[in-house]
Structure 1
Amino acid sequence: MTEVLFYHLERKPLEDALPALLEKSLERGWRCVVHVGSTERRDALDSHLWTYNDAGFLPHGTDAQPRPERQPVLLTVTDANPNGANVRFLVDGTSVADAASYTRLVHMFDGRDDAAVSAARERWREAKAAGHELTYWQQDENGRWVRKA
């Protein structure tokens, strides 16, 4: 069964939280796909992931570039999985039809956006009804992740 994680962004924006989660996934040997809501968001994240850390490198590409199957982290606007990812990050309220093909689904949502919080609650109910293992993470006052459920 797919493990479904919910990350409630309150202190740090997605651009600060996502790279660390991607790095941890890669350390575990997992391939990742990050599903975003628009080409503008995809391209902005692409630029950000090249510059977020002067001391490190996060190998990635986008679905607009050739050979997406070679990317350990792929940024996409579709629900395809051309790089054979084990982990799918769902951003901007995106969803995927075939949850069972992933080891993990990671919903990341902005806690300051009421519509995003409502959508995440609905996705929680759907995942629970489907029998997935669920965890809920919330940022503490220092921006660290704390497991709440």
Structure 2
Amino acid sequence: MTRIDFHLNVSDHLLYTCRLIRKAYGSGLKIVCYSTRPEVLENLDKLLWTFSEEDFLPHVVSGHPGVADTPIVLTDKADDIAHYDLLINLDEQWPPFFARFERLVEIVGTDEDNKALARQRYKFYKERGYPLNTFDRASG
């Protein structure tokens, strides 16, 4: 069963996502970042190239060659996902294919609209019996 972690009070979603990706990739995990908004995936793609001078984070946007061989995939769909270690949700709704993954990370911002959408996702997962964890960035 998919383990779901909510990271709360994150001020910069994409920068925080890069940090999570670096940590997960360094641990040998393969990562999928999901959003239905093309601008989110485009901005994350750009940021991953400049995020760290010391770390190379090999990634590809879905639809491009090499998706199956690349450890970090940025996607808006489920049909070309080749690995299922970690899914990072950058969308406002739950990913329809999240149950394929060992772990799902939900990143929750500081504004009330974002928190309200996250509460809906939390309730959705909880009602289906998924193990949920929360990590509040405001407390440390």
Give the distance between the partners of 1:98 and 1:64, measured in 2 at CA.
17
> Could you tell me which residue of structure 1 aligns to residue 20 of structure 2?
21
> Could you tell me which residue of structure 1 aligns to residue 132 of structure 2?
134
- 1:27-55: per-residue Cα shift (whole Å, max 9, x none)? 33221100023112211110110001112
Q: How does 1:47-62 map to 2 (within 5 A)?
A: 47-62=46-61
> Could you tell me which residue of structure 2 aligns to residue 6 of structure 1?
6
Report the TM-score when normalising by structure 2: 0.88
Q: Identity over aligned residues, as a percent?
A: 23
The structural deviation recorded for 1:122 is: 1.2
> Could you tell me which residue of structure 2 aligns to residue 102 of structure 1?
101
- 1:129-149: per-residue Cα shift (whole Å, max 9, x none)? 1111111112137xx5xxxxx
> Could you tell me which residue of structure 2 aligns to residue 147 of structure 1?
none
Matched, 1:31 2:30: yes
Structure 1: runs of 5+ lacking an equivalent: 145-149
The answer on whether the counterparts of 1:4 and 1:135 sit within 8 Å (CA) in structure 2 is yes
Greater shift after overlay, 42-51 or 25-34? 25-34
**Relative to total residues, which structure has the larger helix share, 1 or 2?**
2
> Could you tell me which residue of structure 2 aligns to residue 119 of structure 1?
117
Give the distance between the partners of 1:27 and 1:37, measured in 2 at CA.
26
The structural deviation recorded for 1:108 is: 1.0
Report the TM-score when normalising by structure 1: 0.84
The answer on whether the counterparts of 1:6 and 1:137 sit within 8 Å (CA) in structure 2 is yes
- 1:51-92: per-residue Cα shift (whole Å, max 9, x none)? 011122111111132121111010112234522131111113
